[in-house]
Amino acid sequence: MFCYQCEQTYRNADAAGCASARGACGKDESTADLQDLLIHAVKGIGWYAKRARDLGAPDNAAGGFMINALFTTLTNVNFNPARIAALVHEAAKVRDRVKGAYEQAAESQGKPLETPAEPAAFVPAADIDALIAQAQAAAITRGAESVGEDVIGLRALMLYGLKGVAAYAHHARMLGQESAEVYAGIENALDFLASEPTDVGALLTNALALGDLNLKVMELLDAGNTGTFGTPEPTSVRVTPVAGKAILVSGHDMADLAALLEQTAGTGINVYTHGEMLPAHSYPELKKYPHLVGNYGGAWQDQQRDFSEFPGPVLMTSNCIIEPQPSYRQRIFTTGPVGWPGLRHLENHDFSVLIQAARALPGFSADAPEERITIGFGRDAVLGVADTVIGAVKSGAIRHFFLVGGCDGAAPGRNYYTDFVRQTPKDTVVLTLGCAKYRFNREPLGEIGGIPRLLDMGQCNDSYSAIKVAAALAEAFDCELNDLPLSLVLSWFEQKAAAVLLTLLALGIRNIRLGPSLPAFLTPAVLNALVEAFNIQPITTPEADLAAALPNVAA
Amino acid sequence: MGKQHTVELTTRDGHVLSFECHEQESLLVGAERNGITLPAICRGGSCGACRARCTDGGYRASEHSMAALPNDAVERGEVLLCSTFPRTPLRIVVDQDRAAIQAGPIPERTATVAEVHPVGGGVVRLALTLEPDDHGNAAATFEPGQYMELSPPGQGFTRAYSPINTPNWEGRLEFYIRLQPQGKFSGWLRQARPGAPVRVRGPSGSFKLDETSLGARWFVAGGTGLAPILSMLRWMGELQAMQPVRLYFGVHDQSQLFALEELEELRSQLPGLKLETCLWHPGEPWQGFIGTPAEALARDLDAALAQGAKPSIYVCGPPGLVDAVEQLVNPLGLGAKLHAERFLPS
């Protein structure tokens, strides 16, 4: 195996990447190799699907398959090699269907058939060992000796960005939001990658095009969330348990949570959110359920402790699962793209077994002392008080905004974000999103003229909301995004963050601080190119980064 | 494994757990060998999830990622449990509460007899219903293949049996028990009525499915050695496992055949299941395989290996059967893929 798609990938002085029998995430060699092969097979679908679409024979169902398949290969999603192997075979069948449509359309229009790129002609071996052997040809580093590390790194940047796009598109699809334009964009990216591109300029352009595409996908997901569950509103959320039977929902999928809330209504079972499900409490159509009682635990990397201590079953709806500990292995369930060998997987929103488990397990015996946090500052909430905010900026009451957000993780260097937020001056406002917020979302930062100094905007995909707010402020101040008194201090872990980063770069946003470490797939040359174009920089120390952000502020 | 050292773990909430750790095993592995399962993700020095602090003692640290444990952290005495090997007795402070660490005594519960039902061949199916434990937990929690120790109160004996069903939330445990003419448990079972109490201690045992194995899984069961294997097969059915699967089930003769209905039902859960029932000394004409299940396995294994397949083999039964399977598969290089459990009738 070779994989360096996440932030915690193995690094030493000479090299980076997980290349042993088991990745840092816990993914074994067979799973990693089969995931490479699945990507290869999906590129093949993309190659045909683009051509079929160009000839007026689009297959959006193939698009749905592709985004699900790509999502299964994100960090901490699916560790079940048997499931990945089955998807490889399914991919070949989908490819054959799209191929048929392409050939028929080409024939009826009198167009000559193009010679398929290698992934489009892929035939999966029937036997599992032979299938794993085929993965060698699909390795991410294939051809490095001839095309060089920069090209491999740029292809990786694109592929990982595409995975993030696919994950958000899958979430949107679960809420009934699909778009032919998005599928076409995904097909274009896959077709480009299938051609084994070597032009550095073209690779960068295509990577930024994915950033544009991701903005559309986040908009789609935003429409799915707000269209289904209403507009997020500032909400006080209990973060300590109450007595009673309990189910914990982790991951990111609001549609799964909604179905579970519906099925548990009136049963006396309480439902808690974990990790990135926290923003659920701010949506009117989810918070209306009185048995959605609170948020439990911390960010994803705390799950082994959180799930061990939780006295009920756990539902993992999307990324980020890590190896289930023996203490809760029997009471964690997966759904959607998630998988772990030997865990029960629930499909089609049938949560009856989960509910049965909640009834059999003890639940909380008593209320814990009440603690609360306030969330739900999406774009409508923030822009609803835009006049106050703009006035505060003009009067100097608010000197600067920081967007501190992204993914959390286990690396000790992530304490930076806690320290950074603690040290922000009292006349500054911190916007946050993603699970990185758990590093500081219980900090008592106070408020400025009635505006809380810490505004939780939601999940990582609610970057869309942050972008909308920034755009509205830029309009109000009649300036460019980069001229706003706003600094972005981001924390990344996996491929959704890669997609969001590409979106920010595609919007031309400069001076982003990125940590806790830079992606291993960004070679020095690629990084230089990004620094030149966007002045993106690694985080240093909270003191130095704050000092660098604040002197330039227009008073 | 060479020298051992005592490692004293202090949890965040002040509990102290201690265990013996060999010099060649990491603190994480040593702790697990002693039933103390600590949070860990990569187990290879990359992720930093198993970071702890060593407050006393000497150790060797294997290679690890700088991001997971930077030099300044090393200077503060921090370690990665997966990459730390003791050289002297150690004192370690971990950042978890005691409750987050899986450990401690094997659970003991009370159950009541729900049903005793003959399934042929002098074997009965004993069904128990677990009472909720002190925390209100009513679930039957075990891994398919593990066993439970059953003690009828006041009888002065304990017997271990593997559940034939799968972990469940109804608190139901089912076992196959061959009635022995002089057996104490059999004697108790003959007069046990629904509602009779039984103490249940478990789960124990490491005869479990290797959930990550992708290749074919072949199961060899002798007599009531079928029990843990039936649980594993039913579990595979529930999980819709995709591995090709075979079961060689052997008894002495027709009079000992049992569980035929359950096996037939299993076919609907695992449509790809190939089932071969083997009689060692059939008293009457028998169309199926004549011989032990180990012999049936031997017949098929050569053909499979010739085609490049390397099935995992799970065997449970009397020691003679397990020995025969071991002697068969070890020379073929399949020893690492063998999972075995011996039992003695009692």
Q: How many CA atoms lie within 13 A of A159 on its CB side?
A: 32
Residue of A455, A178, A406 whose CA lies nearest to A276? A406
pLDDT of residue A554: 41
Rounded-to-integer distance, Cα B226 and Cα B230, Å = 6
Query: Cβ contact (<8 Å) for B68 and A353?
Result: no
Query: Cβ contact (<8 Å) for B100 and A301?
Result: no
Cα-Cα-Cα-Cα dihedral of B299, B311, B230, B235, to 10°?
Answer: -160
Chain A neighbors of B45, CB-CB under 8 A: 10
* Shortest distance, CA A361 to any CA of chain B (angstroms): 4
Task: For residue B203, say if its preceding peptide bond is cis, omega within 30 degrees of 0.
Answer: yes
Q: Mean pLDDT across chain A, nearest whole number?
A: 95
- A86-125 exposure pattern, b = at least 16 Cβ within 10 A, e = fewer: ebbebbbebbebbbebbbebbeeeeeeeeebbebbebebe
Query: ipTM of the predicted structure?
Result: 0.76
Rounded-to-integer distance, Cα A40 and Cα A531, Å = 31
Q: Which residues pair with A150 in a beta bridge?
A: none
Q: Read off the pLDDT of each residue in A112-141 and give the average, rounded to a whole number.
A: 93
Assess contact for B251 and B119: CB atoms under 8 A: no
pLDDT in tens, A360-386: 999 999 999 999 999 999 999 999 999
- B139 touches A: beta carbon within 8 Å: yes
Report the run of H or E that residue A62 belongs to, with start and end.
helix A60-72
- B195 touches A: beta carbon within 8 Å: no
Q: Map A233-274 to HEC letters.
A: CCEEEECCCCCECEEEEECCCHHHHHHHHHHHCCCCCEEEEC
- B49 touches A: beta carbon within 8 Å: yes
* Shortest distance, CA A499 to any CA of chain B (angstroms): 22
Residue of B nearest to A364 (CA): B135
- B290 touches A: beta carbon within 8 Å: no
pLDDT of residue B346: 47
A483 pLDDT above the threshold of 80:
yes
Token pair belonging to B239: 């999980």
Identify which of A28, A128, A411 has the shortest CB distance to residue B212.
Answer: A28
Assess contact for B312 and B116: CB atoms under 8 A: no
* Shortest distance, CA A453 to any CA of chain B (angstroms): 30
pLDDT in tens, A423-465: 999 999 999 999 999 999 999 999 999 999 999 999 999 999 9
- B170 touches A: beta carbon within 8 Å: yes
**E runs forming strands in A177-269:** 235-238, 246-250
Residue of A nearest to B232 (CA): A342
* Shortest distance, CA A458 to any CA of chain B (angstroms): 26
Assess contact for B49 and A410: CB atoms under 8 A: yes
Q: Read off the pLDDT of each residue in A279-304 and give the average, rounded to a whole number.
A: 96
Q: How many CA atoms lie within 13 A of A284 on its CB side?
A: 6
Assess contact for A42 and A91: CB atoms under 8 A: yes
Query: Cβ contact (<8 Å) for B47 and A25?
Result: yes
pLDDT of residue B103: 58
* Shortest distance, CA A311 to any CA of chain B (angstroms): 9
- B28 touches A: beta carbon within 8 Å: no
Sequence-separated (6 or more) residues with CB below 8 Å from residue A479: none
Amino acid, single-letter form, for residue A433:
L
Rounded-to-integer distance, Cα A448 and Cα A465, Å = 21
Query: Cβ contact (<8 Å) for A18 and B46?
Result: yes
Mutate to test the interface with A, among B78, B169, B170 (most CBs of A within 10 A): B169
pLDDT of residue B302: 87
Residue of B nearest to A414 (CA): B67
Mutate to test the interface with A, among B34, B37, B42, B62 (most CBs of A within 10 A): B42
Rounded-to-integer distance, Cα A525 and Cα A531, Å = 10
pLDDT of residue B95: 78
Q: Is B182 exposed, middle or buried (0-12, 13-18, 19+ CB in 10 A)?
A: exposed
Q: Read off the pLDDT of each residue in A229-250 and give the average, rounded to a whole number.
A: 97
Assess contact for A295 and A272: CB atoms under 8 A: yes
Rounded-to-integer distance, Cα B214 and Cα B96, Å = 34
Alpha-carbon torsion (A257, A260, A262, A268), positive or negative: negative
Task: For residue A542, say if its preceding peptide bond is cis, omega within 30 degrees of 0.
Answer: no
pLDDT of residue B104: 57
Residue of B118, B209, B192 whose CA lies nearest to B150? B192
pLDDT of residue A555: 38
What is the C-alpha end-to-end distance of chain B, expressed in Å? Answer: 35
Rounded-to-integer distance, Cα A346 and Cα A74, Å = 20
- What is chain A's Cα-based Rg? 23
Residue of B nearest to A28 (CA): B212
Rounded-to-integer distance, Cα B235 and Cα A220, Å = 39
Chain B neighbors of A308, CB-CB under 8 A: 99-102
Low-confidence residues of chain B: pLDDT under 70 = 1, 41, 99-105, 344-346
* Shortest distance, CA B52 to any CA of chain A (angstroms): 12
Q: How many CA atoms lie within 13 A of A532 on its CB side?
A: 7
Chain B neighbors of A126, CB-CB under 8 A: none
* Shortest distance, CA B10 to any CA of chain A (angstroms): 16
Q: In sequence order, what DSSP letters do the residues of A402-424 get, joined into one string?
A: EEEEE---S-GGGHHHHHHHHHS
Assess contact for A424 and A401: CB atoms under 8 A: no
Identify which of A18, A311, A341 has the shortest CB distance to residue B211.
Answer: A341
Token pair belonging to A407: 């993914």
Residue of A nearest to B12 (CA): A305
Token pair belonging to A152: 């491999």
pLDDT of residue A553: 44
pLDDT in tens, A38-71: 999 999 999 999 999 999 999 999 999 999 999 9
Amino acid, single-letter form, for residue A496:
K
**SS3 state at A255:** helix
Token pair belonging to B110: 């009370």
Q: Which residues pair with B112 in a beta bridge?
A: B129, B197
Chain B neighbors of A309, CB-CB under 8 A: 97, 99-100
Q: Read off the pLDDT of each residue in A340-365 and give the average, rounded to a whole number.
A: 95
Which of A83-97, A197-211, B94-108, B230-244 is predicted with the least confidence, judged by mean pLDDT? Answer: B94-108
